[in-house]
Amino acid sequence: MERKEIFSKLNEIFEDVLDLDETPELTDETSANDIEEWDSLSHIQLIVAIEKAFKIKFTSLEIMKWANVGEMVTSIQEKIK
Amino acid sequence: MLYFVRKALLFALPLIIMAMVFECVARLAPNEYKIKENLLKNHASEAELLIIGASHALYGIRPDMIDVKSYNLANVSETYDYSYFMLLHHANDYKKLKYVITTVGYYTFPYEKLETEAPFLCTAYRLYNDCYYHRNNPLYNFEIIYPEQCNQRIKAFFCGFESLKCDSLGWGNNYQLSRRPQNFCDIKNTMKWVKKHTAFNYENERYNYDCLCKIAKFCKDRKIKFILVSTPVWHTYAEKCNKDQMERMEHYINKVCKEYGATYRDYHNDPRFEDEDFFDVCHLTDNGAEKFTKILVNDLKLYNSSFASS
Amino acid sequence: MVVNSLNFLLFFIVVFIVYYLPFSRKNPRFQNTWLFLTSYFFYGFADWKMIPILLGATAVFYGIGWWLKKEMNQQNKAAASRITSLGVVIGVGVLLYFKYLNFFADSFADLLNAIGLNVSWTTLNIVLPIGVSFFTFKLISYVIEIHREHIEPCKNFIDFGTYIAFFPTILSGPIDRPNSFLPQLGGVRFFNYTLAVDGCRQILWGMFTKMCIADNIASITDTVWDTYSEQTGSTLLVVALLYYIQMYADFDGYSNMAIGVGKIFGFNITRNFNHPFLARNTAEYWRRWHMSLTSWITDYIFMPLNIAFREKGKLGIILACTINLIVIGLWHGANWTYGVFGLYHGLLFIPLVLLGSFGKNKKLKANSYGLPKLGDFVKMMGTFCLVSLGLVIFRASNIVDAFKYLLGIVSASTLSVPIISLGNTTLVFILLMIVVEWYQREKEHPLQFSGLFSKYRLLRWSVMYLLIAAIYLFQGNQSNFIYFNF
């Protein structure tokens, strides 16, 4: 899957799970600090939603390594392969 | 960086000036240490009896009730090393000194060093009695270092001589019956004081005993009668005191009496003292002090014409 | 030595002068080496017998960091995980040994005795190394962050040792993460006037809250706690509320002093408090209170648990929260009260998780008068009371006392007038602190001036002179920082 495709799917998931007013424009550098509604609780909800949407399963270590959305997308890409 | 240092000094300047003003005002205020120093300066040559020690002596023994020329040099919380200093620092002026009385109580020997317990008092001895113990130690040469004490001195500056807590002969005269707190001797309060005065270790006993011996030796060498006295205490307090600590006190007293020919009078359980005589569990009121001094004068025969023989 | 003491002032002046000598600019290693030596001196002054433990633990973890990196470079994921686990086990082991061994042994012995097996256990004379709860956490986070590929192992042992033993924070935190602190040790720190001035002001505010508020309240709370069985319900309630204020003033005071000192040396130390009185629920309280500890536990215990339980939905979150808070409670010490305290807060989270209001709160906005909105204010009061009651359990020396105290509050005398001998000046100071906390809520500390105050030096300096006068004239009896015990 292309990174662009993953990003657009993530935008939808974020908008849905975080109950945002408008579609976020996620970039490689976006992190929890940039979105007010993204906290430790919604982080878990996001992960569950992402795993469901892409039909993948992450390990705990992989999840905890992510520092931003870019790294998240890279992980998703690797899992899909 | 230099800019920071300059700004910091500029900021500190008013503070330093205030500190100097506070220090001056505090030192100018009347206080008991100055009174005692003046007593010694002016009357050491005529003194026949000196009372030294801590608050038991300060409040309990009235020089005006004693026939022979007496002065009370005691101070609150004074330890024997400072009593020794007070006695000694005008020793060359004593021409007629015949008696030295000091008090000894339940917590006298285990008492912590004054530098630990109340360092601001060491400052008082240093500044107003020219005590040589910490001559060059900045911690004991400035009132400003101890805010609470400094505040009290500044208040005393504005109140003048009314704020003084001793009379012209040095006796502590502010423990008046009318000013006694309500719960002065209830059981809870008594137990609190017993607990406070009961030592957990005896580290300081040796030091305090040695200082007492120095006083006793001074008296022996000069053929001055040295008298140790235990002032009356509230009966419940006496009952609840730790027997071990009391025995140790008696042991030290006996040693001093034996080695240096001192006399000991024990009034701590004296039944003649009642409610109105006590300001708190171990201090006497003005009435109590009058009563006690008269008893002491009688027992020790402190009359003008004769020496005491015990 | 305590930060607000003459000893520390002398120590600080010496460290400061040498640290910023012109010589240090040309020798980048000098400043860190000087900090390393002075930090160990500072620690040794508190307890020299524990220096081998601190140094030993630092050396061990330095080695583990490099060993871990080596295995990760060779793609040995299993070995890397094992080494990380080893690091965590050693760190936790050190903490458990010094802090909790006697507690576990005594509790275990009590348990055996209760079921009829008489055992005698001689309590080992284990001395608690001061600051152990803080430096072990720094060491553990170092290893985990390497494993998560967020940092590289520290190249220089002196730098690493300085991070662990950094004297402003070694005794009572804040707990800095290697991610934010180690890079600051990279270059020479030139004297930063703005940062240093800010640091000085922060120290002043810290001294004010600690000495004029916490110490003065302490004499009342201590007395009432010693005689709680004889106090009226209303007194107990008021004292419980006062204890929360005391604890905040004390710990925030110390943290401000530590952070302020760090700023003077050019370091940005992680914040510990974000105006917890303004919390609208207990979840927000934990995001504003002792943030360096709660974020540590969130990152290394809560998140992994949450991730592991993510299939279990809200039940998983509740379970993770409760375990999380019990750990936070027990971190404070070896006593069942701390565990129950944690459990109490865990239970308070349940309604928040179920209602979905556990997450990040909306920013606090003032009403048209500049005051908190009524709804927010009511929530703040409610949270304040809940936290105060939890602190009763925290403060008690055992569960029975805690229970009795709480029962005492809801007795017949609850509606009577409380008997509190709080001085008028202390009351004024408390009200001042609360007002200032609200109006300066966006700032890191209240003395970060804005508006008229940032314009006129006379105003700023007047405020600071008043604070200094208050500290000199109205300081309470010196009591040890509450968090020195942890």
Mean pLDDT, chain B, integer: 91
Q: What is the pLDDT of residues B183-212, one digit of tens each?
A: 777 887 888 888 888 887 788 899 999 999
Chain C CA closest to residue A38: C360
Chain C CA closest to residue A41: C359
Asked if B1 is an interface residue toward chain C (Cβ–Cβ < 8 A), one would say yes
The yes-or-no reply on B/C contact (3 CB pairs or more, < 8 Å) is: yes
Q: What ipTM was reported for this prediction?
A: 0.83
CB contact under 8 A, A64 and C307: yes
Instruction: Tell me the CA end-to-end span of chain C in Å, nearest whole number.
Output: 16
Q: Which chains touch B (3 or more CB pairs under 8 A)?
A: C
The yes-or-no reply on B/A contact (3 CB pairs or more, < 8 Å) is: no
Q: Is the peptide bond before C174 cis (omega within 30 degrees of 0)?
A: yes
Asked if C315 is an interface residue toward chain A (Cβ–Cβ < 8 A), one would say no
Which of C72, C81, C85, C148 would best serve as a mutation to test chain A binding (most A beta carbons within 10 A)?
C148
CA dist B59 and B175 (Å) reads: 7
Residue B237: both structure tokens together: 């307090």
Asked if C381 is an interface residue toward chain A (Cβ–Cβ < 8 A), one would say no
Q: Are B244 and B112 in contact (CB under 8 A)?
A: no
pLDDT per residue, tens digit, chain C (486 aa), is: 777 777 888 999 999 999 998 888 878 789 999 999 999 999 988 878 889 989 999 999 999 999 999 999 999 989 999 999 999 999 999 888 888 876 766 777 777 777 776 665 555 556 667 788 899 999 999 999 999 999 999 999 999 999 999 999 998 889 999 999 999 998 888 999 999 999 999 999 999 999 999 999 998 999 889 888 888 888 999 999 999 999 999 999 999 999 999 999 999 999 999 999 999 999 899 989 999 999 999 899 998 998 888 888 888 889 999 999 999 998 888 888 999 999 999 999 899 888 877 766 677 888 888 888 899 999 999 999 999 999 999 999 889 999 999 988 887 666 777 778 888 889 999 999 999 999 999 999 999 988 888 888 899 999 999 999 999 888 887 655 556 555
CA dist B254 and B209 (Å) reads: 11
Which of B4, B9, B18, B189 would best serve as a mutation to test chain C binding (most C beta carbons within 10 A)?
B4
CB contact under 8 A, C468 and B11: no
CB contact under 8 A, B11 and C473: no
Which of C72, C291, C360 would best serve as a mutation to test chain A binding (most A beta carbons within 10 A)?
C360
CA dist C101 and C106 (Å) reads: 8
Q: Which of C147, C307, C359 lies at the smallest CB-CB distance from A41?
A: C359
DSSP 8-state symbol, C362: P
Q: Closest Cα of chain C to B170: distance in Å?
A: 30
* β-pairing verdict for B99-103 and B70-72: unpaired
Q: How confident is the model at residue B310 (pLDDT cuts 50, 70, 90)?
A: very low
